[in-house]
Amino acid sequence: MSTTRSSTTTSSSSTNNQTSSSSSSTSNPTSQHPPPSARRVVVPAPRSPTPPPPQPPSSTTVAPRSSSTRRSSRLSALLSLLVLLPLFIYLPWQTSKAHFALPKPKTELYDVRTGLPQLSEKAILEHARVLSEDIGFRTVGTREHALGDKYVHEQALRIQKECEDIIKKAPTRKLECEVFRQEGSGTHRFDIVGKPVFKVYENLSNIIIRISNGTPAGKAHALLLNAHVDSTVPSPGAADDALSVGILFEIARNLVHTPGWEPAHSIVFLFNNAEESLQDGSHLFATQHPLANLVRAVINLEAAGNTGPEILFQATSEEMIQAYAQVPYPYATVLANDVFQSGIIMSDTDFRQFEEYRNLTGLDMAVVGDSYFYHTRKDVVKNIQPGVAQHFAENVMAIVKHLTSPLGATNVLSGLAREVTPPSSIYFSVVGKYFFL
């Protein structure tokens, strides 16, 4: 555009000059014209566009809110908070309540609607009452300890007799119940708080029940359930561990009396007589009983309290974590497993002996609520919260059926004889109903 503008200006100037020259020539013919080279054309420089003037600030202004408007806003916020506050309180309360909820205790041995056997908390606590109150302190080597051993042996023989009577009525049913009373002596090293303790025990006894389908194949692989009969010096041991003894007896009774139930793998119930003396009874079984060679996994039942749901605090393989996922009332977290195995908690269970001497995988489960009753004179049946025994028993029963029943269609136990998968899952339970892996 600048070139076009310059040319136009030049032409106009030339025309003007010629007109002026012509006029001058006419008026004054004698005047001299300047040479063409002396002509100078002035081209005006292009003008830069003028920036628009700055816009004045908007004349719109926000009027300050009145005090009544501010009070209204505060009132609305307060009303919203008051509406939501019950929700903020109710939801956590309900979640916590569901998380620690226990099932309703069952008192009858048989379901009144179906006629089938059911796990009875009343029957479990009766075993615990006899051991902890009728017999009392069952410290290893005492008269009460011997009476506890006698009571457990009699109950085992009673279950065997009931089993034999059932088989007579249903001779085609594949079911066999055996009772063993192990006696022996031994030595072992026990490390506690970083210090070695060398133990010697003599003439110790264990009571053992094996339930199987009676075939060599059915006896080739076994699931071990363990509870200890003895108690520590100042405690009658209702929860620790007479409660677990009662649970094992009730599970055995329930399985035997269930019509048509036949285990694909055998179940070994170990009532060991010396846990509080640094796990002598479990060591005796693990190192000297022939059935120990057939065990592929162990579930250890313990107590360090009297209330609340039992917690899974040790799980040593992926297979057993998957088995725990079958329980109706899960209460577990991988954090509990990590904390216990870190050694922070100065406690231990029979699980150590099975892991150390038999290299067994398994689950370690215990009641831990209100642990101030643990190892005290207040560890009696009346202080065991209603529902604790029911919760514990039904969870263990679900795992037992999953691992041993043909209906479960699992080959976990036989597979564990070949290979054990180390635990790698992060698991936790939510509101006592859902188990996540």
Q: Which amino acid is at 353?
A: Q
126 a catalytic residue: no
* Active-site residue (options: 250, 275, 276, 394): 275
Count CA within 13 A, CB hemisphere, residue 393. Answer: 30
> Are 432 and 331 a contacting pair, CB within 8 Å?
yes
Closest CA to 273 of 407, 82, 142: 142
Q: Point out the residues that are catalytic.
A: 275
